[in-house]
Amino acid sequence: MRNLLKKIELPAFIEDTRIRYASAAMVGLALIGVIIGAFIKPWLALGMLIVLVALLVASFYTLERITQNTNKYITNLSYRIKRGEQEALIRMPVGIMMYDKKLNVEWLNPFLSNYFGDEKVIGRNLTDVDSELADIVTNNEDTGEAQRVRWGEHQFEVTVQSDIGVVYLMDITPYAKIEEEAQNDKIAIGQIFLDNYDEVTESLDDQLVSNLNSYVTTAMNNWATKFGLFVKRVDDDHFLMIAYAGSLKNVIKDKFKILDQIREETSKQNAPLTLSIGIAYDDDDLARLSMTSQSNLDLALGRGGDQVVVKSKDGEAKFYGGKTNPMEKRTRVRARMISQALQELFKQTDKVYVMGHAHPDMDSVGAALGVRRIAQMNGKECYVVLNPDNLHSDVERLMERVASDPELANQIITPEAAQVGATDKSMLVMVDHSKPSMTTSQPLYQRLANRTVILDHHRRGEEFPDNPMLVYIEPYASSTCELIAEMFEYQPQNSSSLNKLEASAMLAGITVDTKNFSLRTGTRTFDAASYLRSMGADAMLISTMLKENVDNYIQKNHLIDSVEMIGDNMALCTGEETHTYDPVIAAQAADTLLSLSGIDASFVISKRPDGKIGISARSLGDINVQIIMERLGGGGHLSNAATQVSDSTIADVKGELLNVINKVMAQNDDDSNDDN
């Protein structure tokens, strides 16, 4: 009997416990009703029983049909879902590929097969089939998110599930083109400035000036027509440029050859003009674009002119040009204007603090002493901020001389003392540098960041104080001492001027930075030197202060002993990993290498006392060492630059330097080939 019951297959709806219990309850209640009806009237009970049986049969049949229809629907739906999944996997516009741990292709859907054409892919290693796609898969295995990549002529969003060996490729080429077109249609604004227009045209007659203006305007209009730009001359030395970002990309690819064209063609007319351009893009606010373009132009001019600075809203500034040394300005109009502006600022100041870079050389200290004297001539109390722990031997000798002058010695203070004495009305003058990260006392700079004046002769870098009160950067100048010396002519003459020691320190600064007047000198350099000599600068005192001691001389020669040639005309010296060298010694070694035949550029890598790896770079002018050092995080002049690298070794820095040199030289070769 038990086996018979097991063989009986109950309807599916009876297997549901809830339905079974509910049905039993209703049948039980109906039977109770029939029994009660039998006691009242037998025929009524019989009728009720017949109705009950009929209802049970009808309900059983109906529930059975509903169950069958439901099961049929679910089965059909499951089949359709499964079939849909299979069709989607095969036909949807997303490439899917399965691969094993060795990158062998196990399966791919038809959509992805279309990108391989008729080539057989399954069963082959992906590297052999398409090395570019293999690199994409390998490089994105650990990202965990969709990444935008370019494969051939298409752009994709790729997601790689390395744990199960599946890669998904969604072709977004049409959307990428729409996005690219939108980016290309954004507005770019440029400010174009003729660097030395006033100096060049002041000695020309009207006919020559007219011819020069006509040539420059025609050249600029032809350049604008070629690249689809709008260029309008708004002043004698100023053009306004408006362009689409797409046109700007083409100009960047051309590397702004208009700079070389203007410079070379005007030089043939004995009126050499140079251009500086500041361009801003990728910002929907036109007013902000205009301000940024002007800021970029200021940066280009601060770096010596004859170059372009391009910057997007959130990107880093990119530099183009700057292949020539800045041209000396023959007039001192700006020196007079800066002197007058400085006098006005002195009137708004209670005390003046002046400081150079963290490891001051003679130019930095000499300029600081010069500014101190100018402040005194204007009736202001001024202090020179020096860190006694970071002085080289020549500056130490100068400080020994300063100690014998009580008035001057009392004005030399430490960074800690300056921080204590500074007030909200004090002014900070940064000399011989413009990077806050290089300054003697960063806390003092931060304290007076909004009351800062910058006097420098180095090319301006992207790192720069946010809101200086006054900026005087002239990269054409040999030294900061030269710029300061020119200011004395425009100061009040009712008080004592430079004394012998101060004049000697400033002339020593010019001597050091010009390598005894052999590099980066102009007529104004000798004018400044002549003025300092007239104020009592002592050649013998300068010679004594600049003498090398025996240990430094031996260290310099030790560095030079490691010289090796890189390329045909560049020399490289490297110090020992376990030995530290004074930065000034490294710089002197680089200067000495330039005096050797066949060397046009020199690089010295050494470990500094602060643990960083320093590079001193020098050139005779044909090789732009500033660009090389900027790519390594430093800066300087076209022919005199340096950088410091943290958390590295001399061997690693050497490798990075050689890599950058190769890239810069290759880029210069490409530019030369394009010109030809």
pLDDT digits (tens, 9 = 90+) for 613-622: 999 999 887 8
Q: Judge contact between 575 and 607, C-beta under 8 A.
A: yes
State mean pLDDT over 668-674: 60
For the domain covering 550-675, report its CATH number: 3.10.310.30
Q: Judge contact between 456 and 484, C-beta under 8 A.
A: no
Q: Which SS3 state, helix, strand or coil, does residue 426 take?
A: coil
Confidence at 85, pLDDT banded by 50, 70, 90? low
Say what the pLDDT of residue 73 is.
65
Say what the pLDDT of residue 494 is.
65
Pick the CATH number of 333-545 from 3.30.1490.20, 3.40.920.10, 2.60.120.620, 3.90.1640.10: 3.90.1640.10
Query: Exposed, middle or buried, 245 (CB in 10 Å: 0-12/13-18/19+)?
Result: middle
Q: Judge contact between 170 and 102, C-beta under 8 A.
A: no
Q: Judge contact between 317 and 311, C-beta under 8 A.
A: yes
How far is 239 from 233, CA to CA, in rounded Å? Answer: 4
- Kindly state the tokens that stand for 60: 């059983």
Q: Judge contact between 404 and 369, C-beta under 8 A.
A: no
Instruction: Kindly list the domain boundaries of the chain, sorted by start residue.
Output: 11-86, 92-177, 194-321, 333-545, 550-675
The per-residue pLDDT for range 373-396, each reduced to its tens digit, is 999 999 899 999 999 887 888 898
Beta-carbon count within 10 A of 179 CB: 12
How far is 292 from 315, CA to CA, in rounded Å? Answer: 12
How far is 607 from 585, CA to CA, in rounded Å? Answer: 11
Dihedral pair phi/psi, residue 507, rounded to 5°: -65, -35
Q: Judge contact between 38 and 45, C-beta under 8 A.
A: yes
Q: Which residues contact 500 (CB under 8 A, 6 or more apart)?
A: 535, 536, 537, 538, 541
State mean pLDDT over 568-592: 89
State mean pLDDT over 31-52: 71
Residue type, 357: H
The per-residue pLDDT for range 125-178, each reduced to its tens digit, is 988 888 888 888 888 887 767 888 888 888 888 888 888 888 888 888 888 888
Q: Which residues contact 156 (CB under 8 A, 6 or more apart)?
A: 95, 148, 149, 150, 169, 170, 171, 172
Confidence at 87, pLDDT banded by 50, 70, 90? low
Of 368, 353, 560, give the one whose Cα is nearest residue 480: 368
Q: Judge contact between 589 and 571, C-beta under 8 A.
A: no
Confidence at 5, pLDDT banded by 50, 70, 90? very low
What is the rounded average pLDDT for all residues in the chain? 84
Whether residue 13 is predicted with pLDDT greater than 80 in this model: the reply is: no
Q: Judge contact between 583 and 617, C-beta under 8 A.
A: no
Say what the pLDDT of residue 76 is.
66
Pick the CATH number of 92-177 from 3.30.40.10, 3.10.180.10, 3.30.70.640, 3.30.450.20: 3.30.450.20
Number of residues written out for the chain: 676
Global pTM reads 0.65
Whether residue 243 is predicted with pLDDT greater than 90 in this model: the reply is: yes
Dihedral pair phi/psi, residue 409, rounded to 5°: -60, -35
For the domain covering 194-321, report its CATH number: 3.30.70
How far is 427 from 341, CA to CA, in rounded Å? Answer: 14
Given phi > 0 = left and psi -120 to 50 = alpha, else beta, which region is 95? beta
